[in-house]
């Protein structure tokens, strides 16, 4: 409770300072999942938005759960997140007024180099990790990736807590979680885009990929302006409408790291 209050104070102070810094310019706040921020995608896209509309964007890089809470507290006009069930609940409760599915990537299970067995199915790989109590690093931060990981265990009727000391819930973002997994030569679930852009992974490789449950859809949400009387709704609406154009489709699909496309635009 105290920690949440401190986070609220910090974010509120940050937003006040930011908006005062650009007092002569329009500015909107986007609470976004870390993958779109850490890979550089949002910076790449938002530069083009500023050139076209002279509206600045400030991105709060957070796990999906925290981003949704930030929006509920009235501290963001727009959300870009990736857990459909949580997004639909957010909309159902009236916190959002528009939601669009805009792009996707996928999840990959990474693990130690020593695991060179072909992955016949995601279920079998997770069962092997569980049955042999291999070290698994969980983000443990209520992010979209953490939620997906818990869903995968649940699909197998497995409780990861029964892995005991082999299951480490670290409460960290994707980058730090990968660092810990690399150090411990352990398993973890990550979105592919972050994996591609991540460099310190000499002890890890992809051990399982390309199965249907690993699909990862991103949702763009316009937050309900009643949550904050100072919402810049007009500019936020401009951003949302622009994000749904062919111009952004080309930007998203052309964004690459190490000659690999990271996100795939699929708004229709």
Tell me the per-residue pLDDT of 219-266, one tens digit each, with 9 for 90 and over. 999 999 999 999 999 999 999 999 999 999 999 999 999 999 999 999
Contact, 147 vs 179, CB < 8 A? no
144-155 and 84-92 are packed helices; what angle lies between their axes, rounded to 10 degrees? Answer: 110
Instruction: Check pLDDT > 90 for residue 1.
Output: no
Instruction: List, in order of start, the domains of the chain with CATH numbers.
Output: 2-104+216-265 (3.40.190.10), 106-214 (3.40.190.10)
Instruction: Check pLDDT > 90 for residue 3.
Output: no
User: Would you state the torsion angle of the CA atoms of residues 141, 17, 96, 103, taken in this order, to the nearest 10 degrees?
Assistant: -60
> Nearest 5°: CA angle at 267, between 143 and 110?
40
Structure tokens at 240: 């949302």
Per-residue model confidence (pLDDT) at position 11: 52
Predicted TM-score (pTM) of this structure? 0.89
Using 50, 70 and 90 to split pLDDT, how confident is the model at 25?
confident
**CA distance linking residue 46 with residue 57, whole number of Å:** 7
pLDDT tens, position by position, 192-212 = 999 999 999 999 999 999 999
Handedness of CA 205, 208, 209, 215 (dihedral sign): negative
Where are the strands (E) in 51-95, listed by range?
Answer: 55-61, 78-81
**CA distance linking residue 84 with residue 36, whole number of Å:** 16
Instruction: Check pLDDT > 90 for residue 19.
Output: no
Structure tokens at 184: 């411990």
């Amino acid at each position: 409770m105290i920690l949440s209050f401190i986070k609220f104070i910090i974010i509120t102070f940050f937003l006040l300072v930011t908006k005062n810094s650009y007092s002569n310019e329009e500015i909107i706040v986007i609470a976004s999942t870390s993958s779109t921020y850490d890979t550089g995608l949002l910076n790449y896209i938002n530069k083009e938005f500023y050139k076209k509309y002279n509206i600045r964007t400030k991105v709060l890089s957070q796990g999906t759960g925290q981003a949704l809470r930030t929006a509920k507290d009235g501290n963001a006009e727009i959300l870009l997140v990736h857990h459909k069930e949580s997004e639909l609940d957010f909309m159902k409760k009236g916190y959002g007024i528009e939601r669009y599915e805009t792009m996707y990537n996928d999840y990959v299970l990474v693990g130690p180099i020593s695991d060179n067995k072909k992955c016949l199915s995601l279920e079998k790989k997770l069962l092997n990790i569980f049955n042999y109590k291999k070290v698994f690093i969980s983000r443990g931060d209520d992010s979209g990736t953490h939620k997906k990981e818990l869903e995968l265990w649940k699909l197998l009727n497995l409780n990861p807590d029964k892995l005991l000391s082999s299951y480490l819930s670290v409460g960290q973002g994707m980058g730090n979680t990968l660092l810990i997994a690399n150090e411990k030569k352990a398993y973890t679930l990550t979105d592919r885009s972050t994996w591609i852009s991540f460099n310190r992974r000499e002890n890890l490789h992809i051990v399982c990929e390309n199965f249907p449950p690993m699909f990862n859809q991103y949702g763009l949400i316009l937050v309900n302006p009643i949550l904050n009387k100072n919402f810049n709704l007009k500019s936020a609406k401009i951003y949302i409408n622009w994000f749904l154009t062919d111009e952004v489709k080309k930007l998203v699909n052309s964004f690459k790291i190490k000659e690999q496309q990271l996100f795939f635009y699929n708004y229709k």
